[in-house]
Chain A
Amino acid sequence: MIEERFDAIVVGAGMAGNAAALTLAQRGLKVLQLERGEYSGSKNVQGAILYADMLEKLIPDFREDAPLERHLVEQRFWMMDDRSHTGLHYRSDDFNEEKPNRYTIIRAQFDKWFSQKVREAGATVLCETTVTELAQDAYGKVIGVRTDRADGEIHADVVVLAEGVNGLLGTRAHLRERPKPDKVALAVKEMHFLPRETIEARFNLKGDEGVVIEAAGTISRGMTGMGFIYANKECISLGIGCLVADFQRTGETPYGLLDRFKRHPSVAPLIDGSEVKEYAAHLIPEGGFKAIPQLYGEGWVVVGDAAQLNNAIHREGSNLAMTSGRIAAEAIFQVKSRKDPMTAENLSLYKSMLDQSFVIKDLKKYKDMPALMHTQSQSFFLTYPELVSRAMQNFLRVDGTPKVEKEKTTFKSFVKARSWSGLFGDAFRLARAWR
């Protein structure tokens, strides 16, 4: 057993864990951070987009040395059927600002940098160490962790569980349930390398400008899911994810889905001739507000993906992770400053602070969206994309058919596919879940 005692142990060195460890160390607490990978980032998978505002709150001058890829000047939403996409693109020169708002990053590189900041702030970071279980006293209070190292048990006043979406410790200690197949998506991703100039030409970019494409439609074969294409400096992150329950139900393979997405006529030219250098898979929390577990207890708090804090509608996760990590650390610091014990009652401060932040407010706003998307997946991911594609083609193809007849055909196709009550019902349900 390691005799040394810590104020706090942080399990995991992803966005949430690094934010928590950094904040605790900056406040002068004695922090131990444990990470199972060979370095922070070597087990972490994300698209990935970095949100500057949330990182600025931790490291104001991060732009000076953080490994950033491209700042985003354009977002494309694609509604896809098998041969087409209908796009909504937003590009603005306003995003070419002195302090850009969003960047693409490569997690293995970014997290390594982030971890260095955690060390510089004074935390002890121990990698290649898997935490196997939480150490609890006779009353169930968490008093530390056990690891796979020979000198196993380490004690602390509080344990911050930043163990990721597939965190085992909290479940093993009965602090929260295992994520259910209909509350997590499985995403698979490839890294496609191309010369910088080729990427810039294909995506209409100059310098460090970047673009993100989010795609939904028949690419997910009727499952609830989305594809994504992110332009980095010299590579393209390309992936697709669908609910685990949908994979289970349909028997679709994740790699089959990915390869069909890559062969789509709208996608294939973007990655033509690229060299693939990695294939990764990761779970994404999709349950939203209603899937958030108990966030604190006797001697512990849970942050980031482990707490299912992910905004599936806006595709935001890392910022919720960073913010929940920071807020948990600030709450712990306040309890510690008052010389109070790390009881559930005192740590409930974390939840009340989080409730006041954008994290819980945003998730609450969309609390009914996951259920709607999951139960209506056939309509939203198959029927409507096909209808929209046909409507667009009908609108654009010039073949001598009078426009009045063309419009009639389009209206009829919508009503035939979903019926009037279905169309109004879908619109109503969507509006209600969105508001």
Chain B
Amino acid sequence: MSIEPSVRVEDKLFYNRYLVDAGRAHIKVRPHTKPSPELLSMLKACPARCYELNDKGQVEITVDGCIECGTCRVICEGSGDIEWSYPRGGYGVLFKFG
């Protein structure tokens, strides 16, 4: 049986260019004690792995590596788990190729 090598998303994001808007996260997670199933699914579904579980079992987001696909908006905005906006003009991911 072959062993699946683990994928490091961080290495993938390292290829990309970003202009980070420090202190102005364009996605915010609503404070919660227990995360909803929608929010929990983002731990796996986010292609940039921006969502992580903290030691209290709450879901946190770090948007610096976000590639602005909108998957979390599609899954979580409806349930009110997150607030989603686009970064300010010029900020965020800067694709060289797209």
Contact = CB atoms under 8 A, between A and B. Distances in A.
A252 interface: yes
A42 B97 contact: no
Interface string A212-247: 000000000000000000000001000000001001
B95 A41 contact: yes
> SS class of chain B's interface: helix, strand, loop or mixed?
loop
Contacts of B60: none
A356 interface: no
A111 B70 CA distance: 21
Contact of B90 (A38, A168, A259): A38
A270 interface: no
Given A184-B74, A186-B71, A251 B88 contact: no
B71 A108 contact: no
A277 B9 CA distance: 14
Contacts of A281: 47-48, 67, 69, 71
A109 B15 CA distance: 18
Interface string B68-81: 11110111011000
Interface in B29-70: 38, 41, 44-45, 47-49, 67-70
A248 B45 contact: yes
A131 to B, nearest CB: 9
Contacts of A132: 85
Interface size class of A (residues with CB under 8 A): 35 or more
Contacts of A37: 90, 94
B74 A44 contact: no
B23 interface: no
B7 A147 contact: no
Given A255-B7, A279-B12, A279-B15, A147 B73 contact: no
Contacts of B5: 259
B93 interface: yes
Contacts of A254: 45, 47
Contact of A108 (B15, B68, B95): B95
A298 interface: no
Interface of A: 36-38, 41-46, 48, 106-109, 111, 127-130, 132, 147-149, 165-166, 168, 178-181, 184, 186, 188, 190-191, 235, 244, 247-248, 251-256, 258-260, 276-283
Interface of B: 4-5, 7, 9, 12-13, 15-16, 19, 38, 41, 44-45, 47-49, 67-71, 73-75, 77-78, 84-90, 92-98
- 4 cross-chain pairs, A with B, having the tightest CB-CB distances, nearest first: A166-B70, A128-B90, A107-B98, A279-B12
